Amino acid sequence: MDQKVRARLILKILESKFKIPRVSEVADDPFRTLVRTVISQSTADVNTRRAYVNLSRRVELTPKGLAEADINEIEKALFTAGLYRNKSRILKRLAKTIIQDFGGTLDFIYSEPLADVRRKLLSLPGVGPKTADIILLFCANRPVLPVDTHVNRVTKRLGFAPPDAGYEEVRMALQSLYSPQDYFKVHMLFISLGRSFCRARRPMHEECPVNNLCPSAHA
Ligand code: SF4
């Protein structure tokens, strides 16, 4: 079967199986989304949420507010997140860099050419390709498909990218299979599939809703 046809069929099945959140449920303004994404690294969702809410109560979540905040306050707020000391320092540096390099705003993500925006975001402390792409897609609806750990695993098991593909290769493979208007949907649905059936350990091939379209179903 043609890869694009298979990709479309998989998307249809996943759409019927899982709820897709609204963008507003998973993203805020770009700076807040950036802060939340940095906190979420190597941290369970529930602890990310708790740490983020704590931080927003103690500190004004703007580049200026975070740059001027006492590091101890930030650490206390992030205590429930993994690597909280490290993340506190990263967030402070992030806020200062946005002020120094970009005049205290991330508004450039809406208007400048995509490659320039991506390069600027990647120059920020604590911001890797996944975080940059989440900001671009979630906050500015730019045509990029972020690859997190679930999206990466599911994409490879579905045979859309080779097992040793790096971030960019997986992203490009998915972007070529789907239309930009579906990128958010694909990102969220592949995460749902990865969490519920296509888990890292002991994937539930038999119960999986896309097993008849997956080359790894009998692996
Ligand atoms: S059949 Fe198995 S490997 Fe394929 S997507 Fe489903 S759980 Fe993952």
**What DSSP assignment string belongs to 37-83?**
HHHHTTS-HHHHHHHHHHHHHHS--SHHHHHHS-HHHHHHHTTTSTT
Kindly state the DSSP code that residue 18 receives in the 8-state scheme.
S
Residues with CB under 6 A from ligand 1: 154, 157-158, 197-198, 203-205, 208, 210-211, 214, 216-217
Domains of the chain: residue spans and CATH: 3-22+145-213 (1.10.1670.10), 24-140 (1.10.340.30)
Query: How far does the centroid of ligand 1 lie from the alpha carbon of residue 217, in Å?
Result: 5
Q: Please list the pLDDT of the chain residue by residue as tens digits (219 residues).
A: 899 999 999 999 999 999 999 888 888 899 999 999 999 888 888 999 999 999 999 999 999 999 999 999 999 999 888 888 999 999 999 999 999 999 999 999 999 999 999 999 999 998 999 999 999 999 999 999 999 999 999 999 999 999 999 999 999 999 999 999 999 999 999 999 999 999 999 999 999 999 999 999 987
Residue of 77, 83, 127 lying closest to 101 (CA atoms): 127
Q: Tell me which residue has its CA closest to atom 7 in ligand 1.
A: 198
Q: Tell me which residue has its CA closest to atom 2 in ligand 1.
A: 205
